[in-house]
A and B are shown apart, each in its own frame.
Chain A
Amino acid sequence: MNRVIIPIALLLFAGGVVTVAFSQRPWAPRSDVEQPIPFSHRVHAGINKIPCQYCHEYARRSSMSGVPPVERCVGCHGSALLGGIQPITRPWTDHRQPPFEIRWNRVYALPDFVKFVHKPHIWAGVACQECHGPVETMDRVVPVYEINMGFCIDCHVKRGATQECFVCHH
């Protein structure tokens, strides 16, 4: 009997493992992202209680929350940090590099076919931590939740928000 059942069971098990490994974590954020400078959210948002949107200032106005411009850092840390900086407003089509740029590495990224907009979420009173986890306790930001469609839908169902496919996928 075992001559048949054991191989079948092994096959099923292996198939299950493969399915789970690949199907459940499509856009898993990466927890191994190292940033170019050892910026600590714990110090800024936790200890010093700087509100999230002080730096991520576009969150309530735009689709993206925005990464703070260097000017924002200098605002507190003083221009001594950089020895004075020049205003650079050139968008990225300019081939020349700005004199001071921080190349942050993305922690959260959504595929092109999902159109997430921060603005309505902020206005609906969703706390940043609900998706991004307790960032104020982290020195290095690591994702807490796996932001997949189920994660979004769970919250949308809970809050009675739209469950229209077309709102995010267009």
Chain B
Amino acid sequence: MAAAVETDLQPRYIDVDRQVQRAMAPGGLTYWLWVLFCAFLTALGIGFWTNQVYKGLGVTGLTEPTMWAPYITNFVFWVGIAHSGTLISAILFLFRTRWRTAIYRCAETMTVFAVATAGLFPLIHLGRLWFFYFVVPYPNERYLQPDFRSPLVWDFFAIGTYLTISTVFLFTGLIPDCANAREVATGWRKTLYSIFSFGWQGTDRQWRNFQMVYLLLAGFATPLVLSVHSVVSWDFAMTQLPGWHSTIFAPYFVAGAIFSGCALVLTLIIPIRKFWRLEDVVTIWHLDNLAKIVLFTSLIITYSYSVESFMVWYSQDPLELATFHQRYFGPQGYFFWIMVVCNCVIPLLLFSPRVRTNTVWLFIISIFVNIGMWLERFVIIAGSLATNTMPSQWRFYTPHVTEIVITAASFGWFLMNFSLFAKFMPIVSMTEMKEGISWLRQAVRTRYPYRKAA
């Protein structure tokens, strides 16, 4: 296809279809081994989870003051991952950003599965999972409803809404593409695409309403995405625990979420475009733009870390000072410094255009950013809890095998779902690509003079 790009100056719509459909071709052995590996991780996690529910949360390494550590870290991490997807698909849509078209489906798929993964963690961390429905408002014989003051109930509503709306948004966007896929697919796949296309035919009436609902959903998703991570940050900011109780948390968490999410989009899209040969659809230009967002948000969170520390120093609140002293120099201080290196130092490499346009570099940096952002949540959650207001109750968290496996399983679960979806659903929005195709080519050409593929 590389040759086609060079020679075919007049791009055709059908090229887009063919490229995307090729990605949807039946997976090879490597693909299925990968899916199987993810499924195995998931199954392992379910096994450990079952054991945890059966025996009690004591099988984890959670301890008396450090009541939340890996599970809520995972929760915040996955919710954060989800956010960049909505940013790319909804917010950039509202800004009519052209480069989003190639990657937004991938990002949005990531959003849905990341939220679905995140949504599991509040359940996993529950002491009595079998009573989780107490959080749901429904008429019952106890006449008792959840307490809407609790940030956890906000979480329930926010995550529930977010999952619903982002799923709706994803599947709404999928309707025309499924209709397209329906036309070339056979067998059960045809049935699948028929169901998800809802009989879409692309009539003028359908397109007219589609445009409106898509715009409105994007419009709703934009404040939603900001609210969801704010609500998640309020899980912490609403408490009075030193290290949590901070007004900076909402914007800081949102920036961090976009940072980690864009990094994960890079992590996911780089192998996909390589293995499924989508280089012409998802070009270096797209990756470059993503990298710029990563760089920008990295600078924001660097600033946030500084402001957070500055406020602690400036306020001279002894409780906060002690907690932050422990965060930097305590027995688990190395987590903080690894986090700083991953989140603040390594992304600075992205100032270099050579790094930004090198997929290997981008991939490696994105992995570091993911590690760093996971650690950031861990440092905030577990570290602050361990060094709480009551010095006699300080106790640091050490992980046990259950949490490690369940954390790994969450990646397995996410990647399995993502891989399956990416294989069976159009991972690049064909309609939008067609819409902007001529513009796109031009943009890539002008900015990145074509280099021969190795």
Within the complex, are A and B direct neighbours (CB within 8 Å)?
Answer: yes
Note all chain B residues with C-beta closer than 8 A to A148: 141-142
The 4 A-B residue pairs with the shortest CB-CB distance in the complex, in nearest-first order = A150-B141, A149-B142, A148-B141, A24-B141
15 contacting pairs across A/B (C-beta < 8 A): A23-B140, A23-B141, A24-B141, A26-B141, A148-B141, A148-B142, A149-B141, A149-B142, A149-B143, A149-B144, A150-B141, A150-B142, A150-B143, A153-B142, A153-B143
Interface residues of B (CB under 8 A from A): 140-144
Secondary structure of the A contact surface, majority rule: helix
Note all chain A residues with C-beta closer than 8 A to B143: 149-150, 153
- From 20 to 50 in chain A, residues with beta carbon under 8 angstroms from any chain B beta carbon are 23-24, 26
CB distance from B194 to the nearest CB of A (A): 11
The CA of A149 and the CA of B141, in the complex, are separated in Å by 7
Interface residues of A (CB under 8 A from B): 23-24, 26, 148-150, 153
CB distance from B199 to the nearest CB of A (A): 11
Report the tally of A-B residue pairs with Cβ distances under 8 A. Answer: 15
Note all chain B residues with C-beta closer than 8 A to A150: 141-143
CB distance from A17 to the nearest CB of B (A): 15
The CA of A24 and the CA of B138, in the complex, are separated in Å by 12
The CA of A23 and the CA of B133, in the complex, are separated in Å by 11
Note all chain A residues with C-beta closer than 8 A to B142: 148-150, 153
Note all chain A residues with C-beta closer than 8 A to B140: 23
Most central of B141, B142, B144 by chain A CB within 10 Å: B141
Note all chain B residues with C-beta closer than 8 A to A26: 141
The CA of A168 and the CA of B143, in the complex, are separated in Å by 15
The CA of A34 and the CA of B215, in the complex, are separated in Å by 67
Residue of A nearest to B195 (CB): A4
Note all chain B residues with C-beta closer than 8 A to A24: 141
Residue of B nearest to A146 (CB): B141
Note all chain B residues with C-beta closer than 8 A to A23: 140-141
The CA of A148 and the CA of B144, in the complex, are separated in Å by 13
Note all chain A residues with C-beta closer than 8 A to B141: 23-24, 26, 148-150
The CA of A26 and the CA of B142, in the complex, are separated in Å by 11
CB distance from B198 to the nearest CB of A (A): 9
The CA of A103 and the CA of B264, in the complex, are separated in Å by 67
Residue of B nearest to A24 (CB): B141
The CA of A7 and the CA of B83, in the complex, are separated in Å by 34
The CA of A150 and the CA of B140, in the complex, are separated in Å by 8
Residue of B nearest to A25 (CB): B141
- In the complex, besides A23-B140, A150-B141, 13 extra interface pairs with C-beta distance below 8 angstroms are A23-B141, A24-B141, A26-B141, A148-B141, A148-B142, A149-B141, A149-B142, A149-B143, A149-B144, A150-B142, A150-B143, A153-B142, A153-B143
